[in-house]
Structure 1
Amino acid sequence: MKKYLNTLFVTTQGAYLSKEGETIAVKIDQKIRIRIPIHTLAGIVCFGAVSCSPYLMGFCCEHDVSISFLTKYGRFLAMVKGPVSGNVLLRRKQFRMADCQKKSANMAGFVLTGKLANCRTVLERSLRDHKDKMNQEVVKKVSDRLLIYIQKEMQKDNLDRLRGIEGDAAHQYFSVFNQLILAQKEAFSFLGRNRRPPTDRINCLLSFVYTLLVHDVRSGLESVGLDPAVGFLHRDRPGRPGLALDMMEEFRPFLADRLVLSMINRNQVRPDGFIIKESGAVYMDDETRKTVLETYQKRKQESLIHPFLNEKVEIGSMFFIQALLLARFIRGDIDGYPPFIWK
């Protein structure tokens, strides 16, 4: 199995990436600071004023290494990727399934079951480990509501109904998210989800990590030959990776939300590591961004038992594994898509 762990994050403004033999050279202030063998990487993410030589782009495409370009503060701009691999018949089946409302609803039910189950696990673990530091009754009430949705509603074959459930479940989940903040509560208070741009520190962190997550999920889908733009829950929209956003849902609570909570509660990020603009927009400074990227990368290198395969796998390979399982479901090799459910 190809590695889907190592991502090169380039945040230094003015950096220039080029090809040197079988390596990627990173030049800063006219000096090469590091050379990285191409075979060790699965992707490159460039933030802000970072440029790449045309030869490097072609080199990365030949070796199936994607290059993503983001603004300095993490908004996705574009991706350079080689030809789509995999069987065209698989993509045809994906498109036909996405065109069918009933089959799309079926797939959306799988995805949302994973998302809601993992949201509930985040809440239940917090209740188990820190019940004396939060309003137990409020958090437990939301957890129980998510369980009802999972047990009784995810089998619905109405896509609009499922979107309504997902919207209410997300609202309920984030309504108690502030209860999970156990340190630095004054500076990291959370009143609800906001974005484009985020207007508080927690939303700034969440949006940034979600962007990293989309990049990794998209790479996993493309590696097995699926089209990341054609989703089931998230419908077609120019420039939107609908299928990547679908599969991302099951990873949000487990990987992104837990990562943000952990960094705040362990004081890995500090209030003064953020920049507040006159418009009210909040952005990370360079040091905080570096801390988030390093923590995210280390998290992907941790291992767990995959609930469906019952094997120990690295978290960074989960995107590829789930993409493979989705491809098997679309081909008809398995009866249903088994979302990743964290236990």
Structure 2
Amino acid sequence: MKHLIVMNHGAFIGNTQERLVIQEGDERREFALNRLRTLTIARSGVSISGSLLLRCAMHGIRVFILDSRHHLVVELAGASQHAVVQLRKKQFGYLDSRNCIDAMRRIVHAKIRNQRAVLLYFAKYMAQHEPSQGKALQEIAGQMQALAVTLRAPGAADTTEVMRAEYMGYEGRAAALYWQALRRSELLPPGFTGRSGRGATDAANQALNLGYAILQTFVWNALANAGLEVYAGILHTDRAGKPSLVLDVMESLRPWVVDRAIIKLRQRLGQQEQLNRDLSQAVVASVHDTFHRKYIYRKKRLRLETILQRQAYRLAGEFCNQQVYKPYLFRW
């Protein structure tokens, strides 16, 4: 148990010495603090003690709180954070230079490639049961591959702003193809008519929003552990309260870690108008399961959570001109 999520209304979270305690009516659960990395409160009506917050700070456990629409609104961490001043200076200098343009291209390229991987993952299954749908997914995947390979390197006269707009345009075109393919192939419930963020009213979009919020806590924790400034991003522009670097790193992970999980729950989601407690727990469990699975990384089989942390350190190396950061590509 490294990442604990509490999502039951009326729960109280406290501690007994070096153990976190969750009290829900007559039910009591305990977890060793030295085994936790993050604590996420994903439901209103959950109480937490000041004593536990102090213990979390002492143990380096980050606390995240989501609002009722499953958006991350609070991040609490101890005052003695692992932040290296020189690294952050390097990060800011990198972001003010043209060096970041190619990193933008790599981020968008990886997201499109991983969206394509999700389509091909399900096309392989549908080819046996619904050949026409499987073929349609393969055709869209081919169009997305064509988009990915046409992402050009910047010319000498191209500014960062010009290239950011161009790359975001490609990302938007790929996203339109991707969500349309998922909807037409019925890989998402009938109530899903398109992607909706804040204020989503259908179960599928609510599930996606919850999954992305959980993904955000994993990415935030990894970047903070690497000593990076989470509010200064490469592709996403600066805005007050916007963790741009977190969003940058999330982009390539969204399709495989979250979208794929929601697609697998499509039958259950189609039976509900709103995301209920059981489905919420299923979404969280699926995201956690993916992070615990092992994938090939630099010729080794590692848990995805470990890969994410190593990628965060490589990103720090990119900012210092010591390494090249390449978002992880999933194999279908």
Query: What is the TM-score with the length of structure 2 in the denominator?
Result: 0.89
Partner of 2:320: 331
Question: Which AA in structure 1 matches 2:329?
Answer: I
Partner of 1:176: 181
Residues in 1 aligned to 2:190 and 2:307: alpha-carbon distance in whole angstroms? 30
Contact 1:112 1:166 in 2 (8 A): yes
CA offset at residue 270 of structure 1?
4.3
Indicate which of 133, 136, 144 corresponds to 1:135. 133
Residues in 2 aligned to 1:203 and 1:329: alpha-carbon distance in whole angstroms? 34
Indicate which of 39, 46, 51 corresponds to 1:44. 39
SS of the residue aligned with 2:110? Answer: helix
Indicate which of 282, 285, 288 corresponds to 1:297. 288
Residues in 1 aligned to 2:107 and 2:52: alpha-carbon distance in whole angstroms? 36
Contact 2:69 2:206 in 1 (8 A): no
CA offset at residue 72 of structure 1?
3.9
Identity value in percent: 23
Are residue 314 (structure 1) and residue 303 (structure 2) matched? yes
Partner of 1:280: none
CA offset at residue 274 of structure 1?
4.2
Unaligned runs of 5+ in 2: none
CA offset at residue 48 of structure 1?
1.2
Are residue 116 (structure 1) and residue 112 (structure 2) matched? yes
CA change 1:233–1:54 in 2 (3 A) is same
Question: More deviation in 81-90 or 204-213?
Answer: 81-90
For residues 252-283 of structure 1, the C-alpha deviation after alignment (integer angstroms, 9 at most, x for no partner) is 1111111111122xx4x3444443xxxxxxxx
Residues in 1 aligned to 2:190 and 2:308: alpha-carbon distance in whole angstroms? 30
Contact 2:70 2:213 in 1 (8 A): yes
Partner of 1:64: 60
Unaligned runs of 5+ in 1: 276-283
Indicate which of 194, 197, 204 corresponds to 1:195. 197
Correspondence list, 1:31-110, <5 A: 33-46=28-41, 47-83=43-79, 84-100=81-97, 102-110=98-106
SS of the residue aligned with 1:208? Answer: helix
CA change 1:296–1:233 in 2 (3 A) is same
Contact 2:203 2:272 in 1 (8 A): no
CA offset at residue 211 of structure 1?
0.8
CA offset at residue 199 of structure 1?
2.8
Question: Which AA in structure 2 matches 1:328?
Answer: G
Residues in 2 aligned to 1:272 and 1:256: alpha-carbon distance in whole angstroms? 20
Question: Which AA in structure 1 matches 2:148?
Answer: I
Residues in 2 aligned to 1:263 and 1:137: alpha-carbon distance in whole angstroms? 22
Partner of 1:163: 168
Contact 1:48 1:72 in 2 (8 A): yes
Contact 1:181 1:261 in 2 (8 A): no
Contact 2:196 2:205 in 1 (8 A): yes
Question: Which AA in structure 2 matches 1:322?
Answer: Q
Residues in 1 aligned to 2:276 and 2:192: alpha-carbon distance in whole angstroms? 20
CA change 1:295–1:313 in 2 (3 A) is same
Residues in 1 aligned to 2:252 and 2:235: alpha-carbon distance in whole angstroms? 12
SS of the residue aligned with 1:13? Answer: coil
Question: Which AA in structure 2 matches 1:178?
Answer: R
Correspondence list, 1:221-300, <5 A: 221-264=223-266, 267=267, 269-275=268-274, 284-300=275-291
Equivalences, count: 320
SS of the residue aligned with 1:176? Answer: helix
Contact 2:230 2:243 in 1 (8 A): yes
Residues in 1 aligned to 2:307 and 2:68: alpha-carbon distance in whole angstroms? 27
Query: What is the TM-score with the length of structure 1 in the denominator?
Result: 0.87
Residues in 2 aligned to 1:86 and 1:226: alpha-carbon distance in whole angstroms? 7
Residues in 1 aligned to 2:18 and 2:199: alpha-carbon distance in whole angstroms? 39
Residues in 1 aligned to 2:299 and 2:185: alpha-carbon distance in whole angstroms? 30
